Amino acid sequence: MSFSSLGLSEPILRGVAAAGYDQPTDIQSRAIPKILAEQHLIGLGQTGSGKTAAFGLPMLDRLVGGEPGLRGLIIVPTRELCVQVAENLRNYAQFAGLHVCTAFGGIDLSIQESAFKRGLDVLVACPGRLIDHLERRNLTLDKVEMVVLDEADRMLDMGFMPQIRKIFIRMPRERQNLLFSATMPTEVESLVEDFLPGAERVQIGERSQAAKTISHRFVAMTIADKKDALERVLEREHGKVLVFVNKKINCEKLGNALKRDGLPADAIHGDKSAEARHACLQGFSRGKVRFLVATDVAARGIDVDDIDLVVNYDFPLGLEDYIHRSGRTGRAGRKGRALSLVAPSEKRLHAVVAAHLRGEKVKSVGRYPAGGGGRGGSRNGGGGKKPRRRLQRA
Ligand code: AMP
C-alpha cells in the first residue's frame, strides 16, 4: 500500500516524501482513511507504531487551504513528546502552509504567545500550560475542528484527567475527536464515554504486546550488585543504551555515578529544566551521550530509533511499563534487546512479565497488574514462588 492510495492531498504527500516514508505502517493505513472520513477514532497502538503520522497527516490534510486560526489541537503528556510531535508535524506540514506551535511548561509564556501571534493552525500542548494560556486569553479553542489526545493512559498516570476535561468543555461541540492510548484503564474509558461516544476503535496487534523483534533477558542479582553489573554490561556495548530507574533521585545518582566512572552517560528526569532535558536528548540522539539513565515519564519523549539495548536497572512497576520500556528498542522493525536486573524483591513483578512473554494471559489494571497469571519461574531471576494475590508497588 502507498500513502497516495490513502486519500491524502498533494501538499501532505510531499511532506510525507520529505520525511522519507515509503509505505504507511499498519496503524497509518488503517487509521488515516477513517480519520479522513471524519470519524471519531480510538487508536490502541504500540510504541513506535507510527501513530504521530497516523493522526498528524489526516489532521493537516483537513486543515490545509482553510481559514487561518487554531483548528487542530494535540494534547500530549510531556514536554519532550510535545517538542517531538511538533517537529514531526512541521516536517509533514512544510508544503501545506500551516503553522504548528507548541505550549509546554518550563519556558516563558510570552515566548509561546509571540509564536501564536505569528501564525497558529495546529497547537501541540501539555495540559497545564494550555490552561495557563487559556486563562490569560492568549488563545481560544473556539475554532478547534479536530482534537487529538495522545498517550491518554499516561495522562491519567500523571494526574491530568481534571485538566483534560476542563480543556474538552472549552471546545466547540462539533469537532472530530481522536484518542490514542497503549491501554484503556477505566478512567480513560469513562473519558471516552463522555467525549468520544461511538468512536471507532483501531487495535494494532494484540493489546499491549511487547514487540516481536525484541529479545528479553533477565538476570537475578542483589540490589547492591546492580551498579557493577550495569557498568560491566555498558563497557561491552558499542551502541546506545537506555537505562531505566523508578525514581528521579536514583536517576540523577546513577547518571552521576556512571559519569564519574568515565562512561559517556547522562540522566533525564522530570526535575531537570526543559533546556537541560532538551540538551540531554540531543546528546543522546546524536550519540555524544551513549548511555542515558531515565525515568518512565521522562523516557516517553525519547524518539530515538537506534537504541540497541534497554536495561531495567529497577524492574518496572507494572507490565505496561515493561512493554513501554522495552518498546524503546527494536523500533521501526529493527532488532532490539532488553535486559532486566532482577533483585529478590522484584521477582513477583518479573513473574508477571515472564508469563506475558510466554504468551499467557495476564490481567492488567493500568500500570499495576492484578494477579500473576504465571507460575512465576523463568530461566534466570524468576524464582519459583507463587505470585501473591495482588502486586504492590515495589
Ligand atoms: P511514532 O510511533 O509516531 O513515534 O513513530 C516511530 C518512528 O517511526 C518515528 O521515528 C517516525 O518518524 C517513524 N515512522 C513513522 N511512520 C513511518 C513510515 N510510514 N515509514 C517509516 N518510518 C516511519
Atom of ligand 1 nearest to the CA of 22: 20
Predicted structure pTM score:
0.62
Ligand 1 centroid – CA 279 distance (Å)? 22
**Residue located nearest, by CA, to atom 4 of ligand 1:** 48
Ligand 1 centroid – CA 48 distance (Å)? 6
Atom of ligand 1 nearest to the CA of 52: 3
Quick one: pLDDT at residue 388?
32
| Number of CB atoms found within 10 A of residue 142's CB | 10
Query: Domains in the chain, ordered, with CATH?
Result: 3-203 (3.40.50.300), 214-357 (3.40.50.300)
Atom of ligand 1 nearest to the CA of 3: 19
| Number of CB atoms found within 10 A of residue 38's CB | 12
Does pLDDT of 381 surpass 60?
no
Does pLDDT of 33 surpass 60?
yes
**Residue located nearest, by CA, to atom 20 of ligand 1:** 21
Atom of ligand 1 nearest to the CA of 88: 12
Quick one: pLDDT at residue 111?
97
Judged by average pLDDT, the poorest of 270-274, 290-294, 361-365 is: 361-365
Ligand 1 centroid – CA 316 distance (Å)? 25
Contact (Cβ atoms closer than 8 angstroms) between residue 218 and residue 342: yes
Q: Please, which pLDDT band fits residue 211 given cuts at 50, 70 and 90? A: low
Does pLDDT of 365 surpass 50?
no
Q: For residue range 42-89, what is the model confidence (pLDDT) as tens digits?
A: 987 556 678 899 999 999 999 999 999 999 999 999 998 999 999 999
The more confidently predicted of residues 153 and 177 is 177
Judged by average pLDDT, the poorest of 154-158, 243-247, 296-300, 351-355 is: 296-300
Ligand 1 centroid – CA 54 distance (Å)? 9
Task: Retrieve residue 259's grid coordinates.
Answer: 559519569
Q: What amino acid occupies position 221?
A: M
146 phi/psi in degrees, rounded to 5: -145, 130
Q: Please, which pLDDT band fits residue 17 given cuts at 50, 70 and 90? A: very high
Calpha distance 39→114 (Å, rounded): 34
**Residue located nearest, by CA, to atom 5 of ligand 1:** 50
Quick one: pLDDT at residue 241?
97
Atom of ligand 1 nearest to the CA of 16: 19
The more confidently predicted of residues 155 and 210 is 155
Mutational pocket test of ligand 1: of 89, 303, 304, 334, the residue with most ligand atoms within 8 Å of the beta carbon: 303
Mutational pocket test of ligand 1: of 3, 21, 82, the residue with most ligand atoms within 8 Å of the beta carbon: 21
Judged by average pLDDT, the poorest of 24-33, 100-109, 114-123, 180-189 is: 180-189
Q: Please, which pLDDT band fits residue 183 given cuts at 50, 70 and 90? A: confident
Ligand 1 centroid – CA 88 distance (Å)? 9
Q: Please, which pLDDT band fits residue 189 given cuts at 50, 70 and 90? A: confident
Instruction: List ligand 1's pocket residues with C-beta within 6 A.
Output: 21, 23-25, 28, 48-53, 303, 305, 332
Quick one: pLDDT at residue 46?
58
Does pLDDT of 16 surpass 60?
yes
The more confidently predicted of residues 74 and 184 is 74
Judged by average pLDDT, the poorest of 82-91, 131-140, 263-272, 333-342 is: 333-342
Quick one: pLDDT at residue 204?
62
Quick one: pLDDT at residue 1?
76
Contact (Cβ atoms closer than 8 angstroms) between residue 266 and residue 294: no
Does pLDDT of 309 surpass 80?
yes
User: Which residues lie closer than 8 Å to 89 by C-beta, 6 or more apart?
Assistant: 52, 56, 60, 74, 100, 122, 124
User: Which residues lie closer than 8 Å to 81 by C-beta, 6 or more apart?
Assistant: 150, 151, 300, 301
Q: Which of 126, 164, 122, 157 is nearest to 143 (CA)?
A: 122
Quick one: pLDDT at residue 178?
95
Determine the straight-line distance between the first and last CA of the chain, rounded to whole angstroms: 45
Atom of ligand 1 nearest to the CA of 47: 2
Atom of ligand 1 nearest to the CA of 24: 19
Ligand 1 centroid – CA 84 distance (Å)? 12
**Residue located nearest, by CA, to atom 21 of ligand 1:** 21
Ligand 1 centroid – CA 30 distance (Å)? 15
Task: Retrieve residue 388's grid coordinates.
Answer: 501473591
Mutational pocket test of ligand 1: of 28, 52, 124, the residue with most ligand atoms within 8 Å of the beta carbon: 52
Ligand 1 centroid – CA 383 distance (Å)? 38
Does pLDDT of 375 surpass 70?
no
Ligand 1 centroid – CA 146 distance (Å)? 22
Judged by average pLDDT, the poorest of 32-41, 79-88, 297-306, 349-358 is: 297-306
DSSP H stretches of helix in the chain: 10-19, 26-36, 51-63, 79-93, 109-118, 127-135, 152-157, 161-168, 186-195, 226-236, 248-260, 274-286, 296-299, 319-326, 347-357
Does pLDDT of 239 surpass 50?
yes
Atom of ligand 1 nearest to the CA of 51: 3
Ligand 1 centroid – CA 381 distance (Å)? 34
The more confidently predicted of residues 207 and 168 is 168
Quick one: pLDDT at residue 47?
60
Chain-wide mean pLDDT for the chain?
Answer: 86
Quick one: pLDDT at residue 26?
82
Judged by average pLDDT, the poorest of 35-49, 74-88, 312-326, 351-365 is: 351-365
Quick one: pLDDT at residue 9?
95
What burial class does residue 380 get, using C-beta atoms within 10 Å of its C-beta: 0-12 exposed, 13-18 middle, 19+ buried? middle
**Residue located nearest, by CA, to atom 1 of ligand 1:** 50
Q: Report the Cα 279 to chain-centroid distance in Å.
A: 19
Share above pLDDT 70 across residues of the chain, in percent, rounded to a whole number:
87
Quick one: pLDDT at residue 363?
57
